[in-house]
Amino acid sequence: MARPKEFERKEALTQAMKIFWLKGYEATSLPDLIAAMAISRSSLYDTFGDKRQLFCEAIEYYGTMVRQRRSEILTSAPSLREGIACFLQEIIDIAVHEDYPGGCFFTNTATALVTADQEIREIIRGSTEKMEDELAAFIAQWQERGELAAGRDVRSLARFFVALATGMNVDARRRCNRGVLEDMAREALTVLN
C-alpha cells in the first residue's frame, strides 16, 4: 500500500514558485526545491515530475494568481484613472513585498533565463499578451464612457502600461525602492489626461 502524501500540494507549489522567483530556474537546485517545499525528492518527482515540469507549473500558477488579482482590480475600478492607478499599485506592492523575492516572477524569468525553452517562452509571452488584452479592453470600456478622448489608441496605451509594469519590476529587483516606483506610476498616469 502506498504511503499517503504528507504535504499540501498548493503550499509546496507556492514555495517552489518563491525559490524559482528568488534564484531563477538555472540557479535553483533540486536540494533547494526539496528544502523550500519541505518534501522528499520522491514526492517532488511523484507529484510534480522533474524540475522543468515543476518550474512550468509554478510559473503557470503565478500567472493564474496575477490574472485573478488584476481582473478583480479592473472590474471593480470606479474610473479609468483609478483602475490604472490600482493596477500599478498592485505591481508595486508585489514587487516590494517582503514575502516575495522582488520584481515579478515573469519579468525576472524573461530577463534572466537565456536558455528558456519554447514552452517557458510561450507561457511568458501568453501571459504578457493576456495582460495587454485585458488592459486594452479596460481602457476601451472607459473610452466608450467618455473618460478618454475618442482618438486615443487604446492598444498603444495598454502596451505602454505593460512596458511600464515590466520596467518597474526590473527596477524593483535592482533597488527595491517603493517611493521611486510610486513616482513612476504617478507620472505614468499623466498619459491619461
Domain boundaries along the sequence of the chain: 53-191
176 band by pLDDT with thresholds 50, 70 and 90: confident
Alpha carbon distance 140, 117 (integer Å) = 35
Q: Are 47 and 83 in contact (CB under 8 A)?
A: no
Alpha carbon distance 24, 177 (integer Å) = 21
In this predicted structure, the answer to whether residue 5 has a pLDDT above a threshold of 80 is: no
Alpha carbon distance 89, 95 (integer Å) = 10
Would you state the pLDDT for residue 173? Answer: 84
| pLDDT, average across residues 107-113 | 80
Would you state the pLDDT for residue 116? Answer: 62
103 band by pLDDT with thresholds 50, 70 and 90: confident
Would you state the pLDDT for residue 145? Answer: 97
User: Which CATH number fits the domain 53-191, given the four candidates 1.10.443.10, 3.40.50.150, 1.10.357.10, 3.10.20.30?
Assistant: 1.10.357.10
Alpha carbon distance 35, 179 (integer Å) = 34
CA distances from 183 to 92, 95, 180, 191 (A): 11, 15, 5, 14
Would you state the pLDDT for residue 34? Answer: 96
> pLDDT by residue (tens digit) across 120-173?
888 888 999 999 999 999 999 999 999 999 999 999 999 999 999 999 999 988
